[in-house]
């Protein structure tokens, strides 16, 4: 899964973007759909699965641990699970490619099974710390040997039976929460996660759907999520809604390119994922929700986005957990706003596929944007809707969201912008560039 040959991409200003987009299936939901289906007894069917490299890494790992995972000619994925507690010893290392979600959640799964798994990844993933997952899983009894700094490659020796714990998350992280809950699935007793700041809740929703005994209660210290172990999961038919993170690129593109109007179909509107929409509306973006409905337990809507002048705001820091993956594209929107936008409260960006605060600052500065860097975010002085200078060489740092965000920025520039390596885009949005071509033509 490693990217051996960089693939540069040059983007120039384009005329109005117009058309209808169906974004890939939600990445977070796709990962979980495969994992939970692999732990159910019987056949689950998954429609709309994101077929990017990150999710395919999860599919391969579940196959390696005994599940039958196959894509039919009809595009439907069918998974015959092994049951909770039934994971088999993988015969080779599990290659996670660039996927932090796969790594952290699967570490949780392995932690309470009597198997040993080695996790490897590409250069970007191998630079990301896993200590925040290692700590609680070690408390549950797993023996984890990591490379220096708590990084990949690492080995997880599961403990069975594992020890149920009550764990308060020191940082807001849906991945850490989910890893503990997944370990708790095969752990006798009740495992509890205390979440002082709410994060995306796809794991909780889907685990309940599969039949796990899981409760969520509000308490003074935050949400308390409790899962009863030794569960028996029942196979499901899952419809994966469109990824709001992927939709975010087109929302911002339509907002900043004059004359644009885009309809984005079937976008997941889970309230823990709509922070970018909230922030863009505060900035004056013209985003309309059409035909809001429920699909497979998740709220879904079509989004119509039209070009509109954006104004600078102070981004409410409480939005951070519901838009942590969308900060890079929010920074792009801020680059075209009138005034100085301040976006803070996003410490988590420092440990994503790249240090997204530093990487986006360098990229935007190269394109002619004046920024100020904080430990937890950026201040961005916008152009007031005018094109950026462009004429820039952008380092994507093997980060798919940096590459796509700066491609969007390059749609309204005076001189072309070149991304040094666009190949990481395949990890989450394989058709991104084809969709861009379909929506608009070069000037």
Question: Does 361 belong to an annotated binding site?
Answer: no
Instruction: Report how far residue 129's alpha carbon sits from residue 140's, in angstroms, rounded to the nearest whole number.
Output: 19
What beta strand segments (E) does 250-349 contain? 261-268, 286-295, 298-306, 314-315, 340-343
Based on the residue annotation, tell me whether 325 is a catalytic residue of this protein: yes
Q: What is the DSSP string of 176-242?
A: HHHHHHHHHHTSSSEEEEEESS----HHHHHHHHTT--EEEEEETTEEEEEEESS--BPP-EEEPPB
Annotation-wise, does 338 bind a ligand?
no
100 carries a ligand binding annotation: yes
Answer yes or no: is 401 a known binding residue: yes
C-alpha–C-alpha distance, residues 67 and 134, integer Å: 25
397 assigned binding-site residue: no
Q: Provide CB contacts within 8 A for 119, sequence distance 6+.
A: 93, 94, 96, 103, 106, 107, 152, 153, 154, 155, 156
Sign for the CA dihedral angle at 328, 330, 333, 339 comes to negative
Candidates 54, 325, 399, 421; catalytic one: 325
What are 32's two structure tokens? 């979980």
Task: Consult the annotation and say whether 281 binds a ligand.
Answer: no
C-beta separation of 328 from 402 below 8 A: yes
The side-by-side arrangement of strands in the sheet containing 116-120 is 94-95, 116-120, 151-157, 143-147
Q: How many CB atoms lie within 10 A of CB 18?
A: 15
| 3-class secondary structure per residue, 327-358 | HHHHHHHHHCCECEEEECCCHHHHHCCCCHHH
Question: Is residue 352 a known part of a binding site?
Answer: yes
434 CB-near residues (< 8 Å, 6+ apart): none
Task: Enter the tokens of residue 425.
Answer: 């885009």
Is the CB of residue 374 less than 8 Å from the CB of residue 344?
Answer: yes
Task: Report helix, strand or coil for 137.
Answer: helix
Among 30, 39, 26, residue whose Cα is nearest residue 211 = 39
Residue numbers belonging to the annotated binding site for 3-phosphoshikimate:
27-28, 32, 173, 175, 325, 352
Residues marked as catalytic? 325
Residue numbers belonging to the annotated binding site for phosphoenolpyruvate:
27, 100, 128, 175, 356, 401
Residue numbers belonging to the annotated binding site:
27-28, 32, 100, 128, 173, 175, 325, 352, 356, 401
């Amino acid at each position: 899964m490693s990217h051996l040959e960089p693939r540069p991409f040059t983007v120039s200003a384009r005329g109005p973007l117009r058309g209808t987009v169906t974004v890939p299936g939600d990445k977070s939901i796709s990962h979980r759909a495969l994992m939970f289906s692999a732990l159910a007894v019987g056949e689950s069917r998954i429609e709309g699965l994101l077929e990017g490299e990150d999710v395919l890494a999860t599919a391969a790992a579940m196959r390696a641990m005994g599940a039958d995972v196959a894509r039919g000619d009809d595009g439907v994925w069918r998974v015959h699970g092994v049951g909770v507690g039934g994971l088999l010893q993988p015969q080779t290392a599990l290659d996670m490619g660039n996927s932090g979600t796969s790594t952290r959640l699967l570490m949780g799964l392995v932690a309470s099974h009597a198997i040993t798994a080695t996790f490897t990844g590409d250069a970007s993933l191998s630079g990301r710390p896993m200590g925040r997952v290692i700590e609680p899983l070690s408390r549950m009894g797993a023996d984890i040997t990591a490379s220096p700094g708590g990084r990949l490659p690492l080995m997880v020796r599961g403990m069975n039976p594992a020890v149920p714990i009550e764990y308060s998350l020191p940082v807001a992280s849906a991945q850490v929460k989910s890893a503990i809950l997944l370990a708790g699935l095969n752990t006798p007793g009740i495992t509890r996660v205390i979440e002082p700041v709410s994060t995306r809740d796809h794991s909780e929703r889907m685990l309940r759907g599969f039949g796990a005994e899981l409760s969520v209660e509000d308490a003074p210290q935050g949400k308390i999520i409790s899962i009863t172990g030794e569960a028996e999961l029942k196979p499901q038919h899952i419809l994966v809604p469109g990824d709001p993170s992927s939709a975010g690129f087109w929302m911002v593109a339509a907002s900043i390119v004059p004359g644009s109007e885009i309809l984005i179909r079937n976008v997941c509107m889970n309230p823990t994922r709509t922070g970018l929409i909230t922030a863009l509306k505060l900035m004056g973006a013209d985003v309309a929700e059409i035909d809001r409905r429920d699909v497979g337990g998740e709220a879904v809507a079509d989004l119509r986005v039209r070009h509109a002048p954006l104004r600078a705001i102070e981004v409410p820091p409480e939005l951070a957990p519901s838009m942590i993956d969308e900060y890079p594209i929010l920074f792009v929107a801020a680059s075209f706003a009138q005034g100085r936008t301040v976006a803070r409260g996003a410490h988590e960006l420092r440990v994503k596929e790249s240090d997204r605060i530093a990487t986006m600052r360098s990229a935007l500065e190269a394109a002619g944007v004046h920024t100020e860097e904080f430990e937890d975010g950026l201040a961005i002085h916008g152009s007031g809707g005018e094109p950026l200078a462009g004429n820039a060489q952008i380092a994507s740092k093997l980060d798919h969201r940096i590459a796509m965000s700066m491609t969007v920025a390059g749609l309204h520039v005076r001189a072309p912008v070149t991304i040094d390596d666009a190949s990481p885009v395949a990890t989450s949005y394989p058709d991104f560039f084809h969709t861009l071509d379909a929506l608009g033509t070069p000037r």
